[in-house]
């Protein structure tokens, strides 16, 4: 007996799949399944987070609906995956944020933006708020650097702690001790698999989306999103180092490293999420966990808005719009940070951990550990 | 919308591997092609949906095959399983062409996977489709569509207008009415008649009611029957078919691969009288896999039970339906309504006859019985470790061998021996030419691809003349 109905269904499907195995060449889920003859809750949560939702096994399966065996692995694992994130959420009290996640994220984002705008308005008179500020330290006329660093540092730190606690719960659930992290070859393998999205290619031809014609669009847009996010994050890190190490203050000229990284990342974070949203809209509803549509869209929208407000700030920072735009951008980024542990963002973390687990299992099978 | 008022160069009836290979090959040769698939889109492809691999000759190892499998060796394997009941000229021609097919299907978008182990250890002779048969079909359909082949689903053919070996048109069900489709040539690739229980009963009697059909319910043999009724020469024994022992709890139709059992070599098989009836250790499993359907079909009530114990519980592939478990042999017998004393005696006799040896299910090992009838010649181990288990099995029919006679050009032959003017056949509808009886894994797909490609090419050429 399993903890939830969806895990019961996942167990039923894995029993079907394990007696068929036609899909073993498509991705990592099926080889991982083949290493077992029965499945614990943790095993099923592991498979669910290992699944990249490429949909190939659905299109290739002779038993997918309308067949009476009703085998729909991508959708079942998508639901199990989302339920597992809520189960791992830390602190437990916030697990509820995963239900009606789209609404929750929207409210938190709106409140966060409102708080920044309110704060800016309360603390500054009109001349400062709509004034033209330029040159190093311009942003800090509206919000002192130390206040900014303290607030965002705390939000970021909180997100990290909450994510680490969630991952710890996942680790325990999938029966892999923390020692997994001390296995560099598995980590390296997982890093390669994750950064290349190796398993989002349907075994080589591409992802299945709106029909049986595979394409690489989801993969390309995911790459733009992920690497866009990574570049923006790198821009923030470089800027922090600039500030503390060489006392160079933001805003930086357009040719300076933080701006170049941020601009490239920002472009990726505009095109990537837009593309992902478009593909999601077209996606065959049989493959989708309809109930979590809001969660997916909320995260995509947050990334898009982060980039959009950031790019607007870059373009208009020498105008009177700088103050309101800064409030808007900081509000969006703040809410992105604090909601990270309670939304679609966690998929990347859990999937990476699942990939490490898989790499390690394979090495153990091959006698490499 | 497909314009059905035009005359096509080539009409392909069927929608599986053979049909699509024929359609693609005819289209590549310049012909206009219409494919009529009788099933709805999801069920397109007949039994190809459930296949996994193809047997092809090759002279050297490749990245998907572990070693050479020469034409001669393929021929010897075919002779072995058919016990000589094959058209040698046609079979040798097919084997020769199969060498080229491995690469040809890849050009049509099909992908092979490196053998990862698991189900069948046939890495040398057979190539496995990445994602299985339905993935292979999806690739063929995409290619056919891209090339401009017209495809109709739910396209049931009601009648064929054939005049003295010359195909003229086919009548197609369209809603409540019917429409006539004209074409210069016909490729019949519509499978066997295994889903037609009434027809099976003509040869098997009431026993056919207890058969389970492993594949599509759409293979009712209607095209085959029309062709035979209109003067095409028949080939093959109507009682011959590919039949394996599958789980008795499987659905009547379309249970596919996952209802099969490969545990036979690890235990014993008894009938409803709790008696053994065949040597379970005769040969390596993939080689003898396809005899057990017929063996079970010959037993009373068409049912049998694979009995084993806890010591081998995890030695074979996991199964869809779990084995029935019991603490004692008598309790196990009771769960199936078998005579407990009879089953206990059968197992006691078997256990007493087992001679010590070194168990290895990957080779013909030296674990065997002595003085037992029938013997278990390999992998014989005592059944003595509780809990005890059993799977109930019935005959699972994959496809039938009765078909249309063809020549090397895949052209149908008429009853008087003349070649048909413009009619070709490929796949299971003509498999009986090559497979008089027996089966070896993956040959169905070889027949389909090889004769499909030939039929399409010849039909295109025929249409031009």
pLDDT at B454: 98
- How far is the alpha carbon of B407 from chain A, nearest alpha carbon, in Å? 33
CB contact under 8 A, A60 and B131: yes
- How far is the alpha carbon of B456 from chain A, nearest alpha carbon, in Å? 25
- How far is the alpha carbon of A216 from chain B, nearest alpha carbon, in Å? 16
Radius of gyration of chain B from Cα atoms?
Answer: 23
CB contact under 8 A, B257 and A22: yes
CB contact under 8 A, B134 and A21: no
By CA distance, what is B46's nearest residue in A? A62
Of A25, A66, A69, the CB nearest to B131: A25
The H or E element containing residue A248 is none
- How far is the alpha carbon of B423 from chain A, nearest alpha carbon, in Å? 31
pLDDT at A30: 96
ipTM: 0.93
- CA distance linking residue A110 with residue A195, whole number of Å: 32
Of B111, B131, B256, the CB nearest to A63: B256
For A45, the token pair is: 């949560």
Long-range contacts of A69-75 (CB under 8 A, 24+ apart): A69/A16, A69/B258, A71/A13, A71/A16, A71/A17, A72/A13, A72/A286, A72/A287, A73/A13, A73/A17, A73/A29, A74/A287, A75/A286, A75/A287, A75/A288, A75/A289
Contact B272, B307 (CB under 8 A): no
Q: Which of B258, B263, B389, B442 is the best residue to mutate to test the A interface, defined by the most A CB atoms within 10 Å of its own CB?
A: B258
- Judge whether residue A254 has pLDDT over 50: yes
pLDDT tens over chain B, length 465 residues:
899 999 999 999 999 999 999 999 999 999 999 999 999 999 999 999 999 999 999 998 887 888 899 999 999 999 998 999 999 999 999 999 999 999 999 999 999 987 554 444 447 899 999 999 999 999 999 999 999 999 999 999 999 999 999 999 999 998 888 999 999 999 999 999 999 999 999 999 999 999 999 999 999 999 999 999 999 999 999 998 999 999 999 999 999 999 999 999 999 999 999 999 999 999 888 778 888 999 999 999 999 999 999 999 999 999 999 999 999 999 999 999 999 999 999 999 999 999 999 999 989 999 999 999 999 999 999 999 999 999 999 999 999 999 999 999 999 999 999 999 999 999 999 999 999 988 888 999 999 999 999 999 999 999 988
- How far is the alpha carbon of A348 from chain B, nearest alpha carbon, in Å? 26
For A44, the token pair is: 């099923």
Q: Provide the strand spans (E) within B217-302.
A: 234-235, 241-247, 268-271
Which residues does chain B have within 8 Å of residue A66's beta carbon, measured at their own beta carbons?
A: 42
CB contact under 8 A, B49 and A22: no
- Nearest 5°: the CA angle B132, A358, B130 is 15
> Residues 6 or more apart from B263 whose CB is under 8 A from it?
B306, B308, B312, B315, B316, B319, B323, B391
CB contact under 8 A, A26 and B256: no
CB contact under 8 A, B258 and A204: no
Q: Which residues of A make CB contacts under 8 Å with B?
A: 15-16, 18-26, 31, 34, 37, 56-57, 59-63, 66-69, 203-205, 212-213
Q: Is the pTM of this model over 0.90?
A: yes
How far from chain centre, in Å, is Cα B225? 20
Which residues does chain A have within 8 Å of residue B49's beta carbon, measured at their own beta carbons?
A: 62
Q: Which of A11, A15, A22, A32 is the best residue to mutate to test the B interface, defined by the most B CB atoms within 10 Å of its own CB?
A: A22
- How far is the alpha carbon of B10 from chain A, nearest alpha carbon, in Å? 26
Q: Which of B109, B111, B130 is the best residue to mutate to test the A interface, defined by the most A CB atoms within 10 Å of its own CB?
A: B130
Confidence class for position A126, pLDDT limits 50, 70, 90: confident
Of B113, B118, B134, the CB nearest to A61: B134
Contact B389, B308 (CB under 8 A): yes
Of A24, A56, A59, the CB nearest to B118: A24
The CA dihedral of B88, B91, B94, B98, to the nearest 10 degrees, is: -120
By CA distance, what is A64's nearest residue in B? B42
């Amino acid at each position: 007996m399993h903890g939830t109905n969806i895990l019961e269904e996942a167990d039923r499907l894995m029993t079907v799949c394990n007696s068929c195995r036609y899909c073993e060449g498509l991705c990592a889920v099926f080889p991982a399944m083949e290493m077992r003859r029965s499945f614990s809750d943790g095993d099923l949560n592991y498979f669910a987070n290992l699944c990249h939702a490429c949909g190939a096994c659905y299109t290739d399966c002779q038993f997918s609906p309308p067949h009476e065996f009703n085998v729909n692995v991508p959708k079942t694992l998508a639901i199990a995956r989302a339920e597992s994130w809520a189960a791992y959420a830390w602190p437990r009290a916030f697990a509820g944020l995963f239900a009606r996640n789209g609404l929750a994220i929207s409210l938190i984002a709106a409140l966060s933006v409102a708080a920044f705008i309110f704060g800016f308005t309360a603390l500054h008179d009109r001349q400062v708020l709509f004034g033209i500020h330029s040159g190093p330290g311009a942003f800090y006329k509206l919000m002192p650097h130390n206040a900014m660093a303290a607030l965002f540092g705390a939000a970021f730190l909180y997100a990290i702690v909450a994510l680490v606690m969630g991952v710890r719960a996942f680790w325990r659930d999938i029966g892999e001790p923390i020692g997994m992290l001390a296995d560099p070859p598995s980590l390296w393998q997982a890093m390669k698999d994750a950064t290349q999205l190796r398993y989002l290619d349907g075994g080589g031809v591409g992802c299945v989306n709106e029909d049986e014609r595979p394409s690489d669009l989801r993969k390309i847009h995911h790459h733009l999103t992920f690497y866009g996010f990574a570049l923006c994050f790198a821009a923030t890190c470089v800027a922090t180092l600039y500030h503390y190490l060489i006392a160079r203050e933001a805003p930086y000229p357009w040719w300076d490293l933080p701006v170049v990284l941020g601009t490239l990342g920002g472009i990726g974070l505009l095109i990537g999420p837009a593309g992902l949203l478009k593909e999601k809209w077209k996606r065959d509803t049989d493959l989708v966990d309809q109930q979590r549509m809001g969660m997916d869209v909320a995260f995509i929208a947050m990334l898009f808005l982060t980039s959009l407000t950031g790019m607007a700030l870059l373009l208009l920072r020498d105008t009177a719009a700088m103050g309101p735009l800064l409030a808007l951008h900081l509000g969006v980024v703040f809410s992105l940070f604090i909601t990270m542990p309670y939304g679609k963002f966690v998929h990347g973390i859990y999937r990476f951990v699942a990939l490490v687990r898989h790499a390690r299992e394979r090495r153990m099978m091959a006698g490499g550990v | 919308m497909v314009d059905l008022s035009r005359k096509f160069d080539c009409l392909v009836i069927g929608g599986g591997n053979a049909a699509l290979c024929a359609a693609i090959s005819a289209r590549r040769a310049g012909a206009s092609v219409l494919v009529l698939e009788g099933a709805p889109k999801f069920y397109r492809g007949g039994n190809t949906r459930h296949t996994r691999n193809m047997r092809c000759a090759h002279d050297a190892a490749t990245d998907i095959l572990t070693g050479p499998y020469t034409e001669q060796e393929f021929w010897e394997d075919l002779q072995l399983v058919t016990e000589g009941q094959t058209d040698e000229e046609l079979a040798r021609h097919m084997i020769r062409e199969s060498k080229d097919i491995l690469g040809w299907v890849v050009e049509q978008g099909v992908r092979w996977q490196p053998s990862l182990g698991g189900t069948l250890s046939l890495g040398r002779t057979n190539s496995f489709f990445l994602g299985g048969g339905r993935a292979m079909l999806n690739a063929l359909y995409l290619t056919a569509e891209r090339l401009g082949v017209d495809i109709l689903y739910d396209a049931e053919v009601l009648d064929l207008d054939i005049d003295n070996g010359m195909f003229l048109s086919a009548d197609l069900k369209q809603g409540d009415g019917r429409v006539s489709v004209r074409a210069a040539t016909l490729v019949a690739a519509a499978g066997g008649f295994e889903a037609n229980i009434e027809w099976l009963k003509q040869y098997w009697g009431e026993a056919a009611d207890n058969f389970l059909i492993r594949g599509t319910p759409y293979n009712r043999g209607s095209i085959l029957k029309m062709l035979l009724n209109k003067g095409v020469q028949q080939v093959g024994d109507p009682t011959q078919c590919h039949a394996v022992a599958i789980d008795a709890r499987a659905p009547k139709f379309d249970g596919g691969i996952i209802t099969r059992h490969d545990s036979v070599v690890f235990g014993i098989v008894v009938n409803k009288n709790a008696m053994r009836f065949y040597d379970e250790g005769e040969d390596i499993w993939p080689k003898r896999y396809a005899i057990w359907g017929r063996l079970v079909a010959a037993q009373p009530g068409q049912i049998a039970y694979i009995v084993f114990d806890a010591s081998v519980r995890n030695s074979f592939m996991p199964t869809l339906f779990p084995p029935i478990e019991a603490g004692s042999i008598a309790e196990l017998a009771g769960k199936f309504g078998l005579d407990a004393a009879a089953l206990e005696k059968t197992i006691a006799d078997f256990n007493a006859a087992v001679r010590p040896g070194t168990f290895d299910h990957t080779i013909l090992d030296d674990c065997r019985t002595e003085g037992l009838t029938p013997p278990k010649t390999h992998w014989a181990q005592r059944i003595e470790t509780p809990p005890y288990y059993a799977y109930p099995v019935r005959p699972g029919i994959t496809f039938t061998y009765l078909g249309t006679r063809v020549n090397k050009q895949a052209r149908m032959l008429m009853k008087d021996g003349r070649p048909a003017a413009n009619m070709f056949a490929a796949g299971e509808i003509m498999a009986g030419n090559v497979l008089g009886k027996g089966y070896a894994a993956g040959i169905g797909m070889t027949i389909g691809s090889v004769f499909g490609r030939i039929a399409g090419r010849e039909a295109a050429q025929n249409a031009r003349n």
